[in-house]
A and B are shown apart, each in its own frame.
Chain A
């Protein structure tokens, strides 16, 4: 059955878009712009928060290993999903979160295991949407190495160029109350 992801184009969920790009060769998935972000699985099942959307997409494409390859990696992925939702989104001072990330990446190419997982997608997306400007290479060398390594690759580069400019434009516009 075909899955349909609708994304709120005035607040694009980069993590969900990146995951959709990763799974699109293995899963029959269409993406369209709309008012609210929602993954439509069936008439009875929809997911509207980004972590549920990415978890579901990773689970229906198990061969990609986006949710890790064993239960310890799965648990690390869970940790970083919560980390990105809590400590990177909607926070103004990211210094302690960035410090933790830099430490975690000191001996690693990817956040979890030896290939890309939801942890990389969601943390990268949160930084792209929020903390990129705070991540100075001289303070966070490992984080910046990891960030630019991912940013140079498809689909990070394509999702980044398509949507990140939109996000910064939205942020520059004063919020009407």
Chain B
């Protein structure tokens, strides 16, 4: 069962379906697999009929097998595109920055894992309605990406300290509700690979995240 229970349907979120499959196309570099997007893909699959596929662009020579199967088994009925509500197409490509293309007639290509994660999370209609909670969520996402994923050792240590102290006050980063802040921050901590030496509150929270089983898809990529 999903942890999010929004009621919005895709037509009200994205405008009326014009007959073609709404395909989310993501170009990602295999050197930096976007773990948070894989977790969000798993959540989307619980909510919608998703036609998922993985491709390798000619700019990339060889991709490890776990990256080819990271969206689950290929659909055997993929020819029947009209049976699906959403397409999720992941292309391993030699890009300097992750990029999403969706509805390109009206939308510019979206750069960066954080912005794409926010988009996928909105499709679950689980964004906090309160402006403070919504902004705190965005703030955690930005700091995770700037300080944990790309920062130096000093910045990373500072971020881990603030994570640990926030998680001492509540089970999730925003309080009682699991949110995108938890998904993005947990994926950044898991990728940094210091989970066994992490502070107690962080360890407990990582366990809670992994107990939600949407994180299962991430495990094969961490080995």
Interface set of A (CB-CB < 8 Å, partner B): 41, 45, 47, 49, 51-52, 55-56, 59-60, 70-72, 74-76, 78-79, 82-83, 86, 104
Contacts and interface: CB of A to CB of B under 8 A. Distances in A.
A83 B122 contact: no
B107 A72 contact: yes
Contacts of B108: 76, 79, 104
Given A56-B135, A59-B135, A82-B111, 5 more contacts: A47-B135, A51-B138, A56-B131, A71-B13, A78-B119
Interface in B109-159: 110-112, 114-115, 118-119, 122-123, 131-132, 134-136, 138-139, 142
Contact of A74 (B15, B102, B114, B122): B122
B115 A59 contact: no
**Consensus secondary structure, chain B interface:** helix
Given A49-B142, A70-B15, A72-B103, A79 B111 contact: yes
15 contacts: A41-B132, A51-B138, A56-B132, A59-B131, A70-B13, A71-B13, A72-B106, A75-B110, A75-B115, A78-B114, A78-B119, A79-B108, A79-B110, A82-B115, A83-B111
Given A51-B138, A71-B14, A79-B108, A60 B118 contact: no
A41 B14 CA distance: 32
A71 B134 CA distance: 14
Contacts of B119: 71, 75, 78
**Consensus secondary structure, chain A interface:** helix
A162 to B, nearest CB: 26
B111 A75 contact: no
A82 B116 CA distance: 11
A155 B33 CA distance: 42
Interface of B: 13-15, 102-103, 106-108, 110-112, 114-115, 118-119, 122-123, 131-132, 134-136, 138-139, 142
Nearest to A62: B131
A74 to B, nearest CB: 7
Contacts of B14: 71-72
A44 B123 CA distance: 30
Contact of B138 (A52, A70, A104): A52
Contacts of A74: 118, 122
A74 B14 CA distance: 12
A45 B131 CA distance: 11
A11 B94 CA distance: 37
Contacts of B114: 78, 82
